[in-house]
Amino acid sequence: MKVPIEHYILLSTVLFCIGVMGVLLRRNAIILLMCVEIMLNSVNLLMAAFSTYHGDAAGQIFVFFIMVVAAAEVAVGLALIVMIYRNFKTTDINLFNKLKW
């Protein structure tokens, strides 16, 4: 049986909102990065769902691009966090408030 498209949309929306709330509310930089990943992947999920729905493979190919870019982004992000941890001995973002006027 075929899962209706609405379910995919709903799931993606829920995942995206979880990601947004995580980014807004959590303080640990690693969890922040993970939440960003959740947001990205909710979009990926939606893209793949629409791709099937329309019978067009372009959407699924795009998902791979996004995953590659996300992997690169995470690599840079984690590297940054490692450097920050070495300096501050913490990954609590509320302590990273030196980057201001």
Partner 1 sequence: MADLVYLIPLLPFLGFAINGLVGKRLPKPVVATIACGTVLGSFILSILCFKQVIDEGAFTAVLYDWISVGDTHIQIAFQIDQLSTMMMLIITGIGFLIHMYSDGYMHHDDGFHRFFAYLNLFIFSMLLLVMGSNYMLMFFGWEGVGLCSYLLIGFWYKNKEFGVAARKAFIMNRIGDLGLLLGIFMIFNTFGSIEYADVFKNAYAHGDSTNIICILLFVGAMGKSAQIPLYTWLPDAMAGPTPVSALIHAATMVTAGIYLVVRSNVLYIMSPNASELIMYVGLATAMIAATIGIKQNDIKKVLAYSTVSQLGYMFVALGVGAYTTAMFHLLTHAFFKALLFLGSGSVIHGMGGEQDIRKMGGLKKALPITHITFLIGTLAIAGVPFFSGFFSKDEILAMAHGHSDIVFTLLAITSVLTAIYMFRLYFLVFRGNFRGTHHQKEHLHESPMSMTIPLIVLAILATAGGFLGMPGWMSDNHILNHFLHPIVEGASHFHPSEFFEYTILSVSIVVLAVIIFAVRNYYITKSIVPESDEAESGFSKVLSHKYYIDEIYNTLFVKPIEALSVFLHKVVDNQILDGLVNGISWCVKQSANLFRLLQDGKLEWYMVGMVAGVILILVFNFFM
Residues that bind partner 1 (CB under 8 A): 20, 23-25, 32, 93-94, 96-101
As a whole number of Å, the CA-based R_g of the chain is 17
How far does CA 43 lie from the centroid of its chain? 9
Q: In terms of CB distance, is 66 or 93 closer to partner 1? A: 93
Q: Which residue has the tokens 């791979």?
A: 64
State the minimum distance, in angstroms, from the CB of residue 1 to partner 1: 32
Q: For residue 46, count other CB atoms closer than 10 A to its CB.
A: 20
User: By the 8 A CB rule, do 51 and 71 touch?
Assistant: no
Min separation Cβ 55 and partner 1, Å: 27
Q: Give whichever of 76 and 101 is closer to partner 1, judged by the CB atom.
A: 101
Between 44 and 91, CB nearer to partner 1:
91
Rounded to the nearest whole angstrom, what is the least distance from the CB of residue 100 to partner 1 in the complex?
4
Give the Cα separation of 16 and 11 in Å (integer).
8
